[in-house]
Amino acid sequence: MPSDVIRVDSVSKTYKVGETDVHALCDVALSIAKGQFVAIMGPSGSGKSTFMNLLGCLDRPDKGTILLDGTDVTHLERDERATIRNQKIGFVFQNFSLLARAPVLENVELPLVYAGVPTAERRERSLDALTRVGLGHKAANHITQLSGGEQQRVAIARSLVNRPPIMLADEPTGNLDTKTSFEIMAILQRLNHDGISVVLVTHEPDIASFAMRTVLFRDGRIVRDEANSAPRSAEAELAKLGSEPAPAGIAA
């Protein structure tokens, strides 16, 4: 099915910890359609991190196949996977994972640097991505001068600068307060609305309720997979929080 941006078929992954085998994933299958916003939940050790590593082409499965945006990435070599990560995936991490020593703009540029985009175009596209997350005015700042929420927005700008079809967000609100979390979710929802498929790992049902679909992992298997008939709108929640409107610069 060409409309599936992610297609995972009977994937297994086993780690050796000392003498014992740990079955991190057992025969997992999952398809995510283009433009979906999927929340992945599950307790720690349920296999969701392993699953995200496989989706992110950071690792390879022992069995099964993985197709990302129509490309079979199951057996790719190290450097080929680096290219897939660069072209097809935007990562957002819980701890932001920015280069603290580099200015904001340079952090956003990073995927374009490795994509071999010329300097002028790199600059333009990075500024554009920063503007989309409402931080166009902070391009010259240093990472350390930004708040946690701003840092996560820089990370989001970095993840979308190379226009990937998929965004993988691993507990992006885990280190943020409620209001800032909602701001981040609002950005993700808006980007999703603009066309990017989002896979979000979270252990907070509150955050998962912003997604269209929730997939629950337990003991290396998918135990529940259900559509969310009425996903919450982060914009609306922010409005309900009331006291302050959404941060300036976030265009609807």
When binding is defined by CB under 8 A, the residue of 71, 74, 87, 175 that contacts other proteins is 87
Residue 241 phi/psi, 5-degree rounding, is -55, -30
- Residue 101 sits in the site that holds other proteins (CB under 8 A): yes
Site string for other proteins, 210-229 (x = CB under 8 A): --------------------
Is there binding between residue 16 and other proteins (CB under 8 A)? no
3-state secondary structure of 53: helix
When asked if residue 113 is in the footprint of other proteins (CB under 8 A), the reply is yes
CB-nearer residue toward other proteins: 101 or 240: 101
User: If you count them, how many residues does the chain have?
Assistant: 252
Q: Is 59 in the site for other proteins (CB under 8 A)?
A: yes
Binding residue (CB under 8 A) for other proteins from 5, 40, 51, 53 = 53
Q: Are strands 20-33 and 4-17 parallel, antiparallel or unpaired?
A: antiparallel
DSSP string, 106-152: HHHHHHHHHHT--HHHHHHHHHHHHHHTT-GGGTTSBGGGS-HHHHH
Contact between residue 36 and residue 29 where contact means Cβ atoms under 8 Å apart: no
Which of 33, 58 has the CB closer to other proteins? 58
Considering the complex, what minimum distance in angstroms separates the CB of residue 1 from other proteins? Answer: 27
Kindly compute the dihedral angle of the four CA atoms of residues 235, 236, 238, 242, in this order, to the nearest 10 degrees: 140
Rank residues 33 and 115 by Cβ distance to other proteins and give the closer one.
Answer: 115
Q: Is 56 among the residues that bind other proteins (CB under 8 A)?
A: yes
- Answer for which of 44, 116, 226, 251 binds other proteins (CB under 8 A) is 116
Q: Which of 86, 151, 192, 197 binds other proteins (CB under 8 A)?
A: 86
Question: Are the C-beta atoms of 216 and 185 separated by less than 8 Å?
Answer: no
What's at 28, amino acid-wise?
A: V
- Report d(CA 97, CA 220) in Å as an integer: 26
d(CA 236, CA 234): 5
Q: Minimal distance in Å, beta carbon 105 to other proteins?
A: 13
Alpha carbon distance 113, 56 (integer Å): 19
Considering only residues 145-174, where is the footprint of other proteins by CB under 8 A?
158, 162
For position 114 contacting other proteins by CB under 8 A, the verdict is yes
Q: Which is nearer to other proteins, 139 or 208 (CB)?
A: 139
| Residues engaged in binding other proteins (CB under 8 A) | 53, 56, 58-59, 78-79, 82-83, 85-87, 91, 93, 97-99, 101-102, 110-111, 113-116, 119, 158, 162
